[in-house]
Amino acid sequence: MEIKNAVTVHRVWGDLSDGDLLMACQYESNALAFCKAQIDSEPEGCSLIYVNHYDGKLMIFKKVKP
């Protein structure tokens, strides 16, 4: 799948060998809100990454160990 005009959110694991596309949306603010709300309920050892395909920017959300 080729995505050109969207912001995508991916779940990746510690070794970056595998990842899942969780969502694609039009606005960066939607992806940011999703990552902030979702990161605490993610499994241990994974991160959420959002990629803005409009300008190439990305942000990584890592789960904080308790």
Write down the mean pLDDT value for the chain.
Answer: 87
Q: What integer pLDDT is reported at residue 66 of this predicted model? A: 64
Residue 3 predicted with pLDDT over 80: no
pLDDT tens-place string over residues 29-50: 999 999 999 998 988 888 999 9
Q: What integer pLDDT is reported at residue 2 of this predicted model? A: 67
Q: What is the DSSP string of the chain?
A: ----SSEEEEEEETTSS-EEEEEEES-HHHHHHHHHHHGGGSPTTEEEEEEETTT--EEEEEPPP-
Using pLDDT thresholds of 50, 70 and 90, give the confidence band for residue 56. Answer: confident
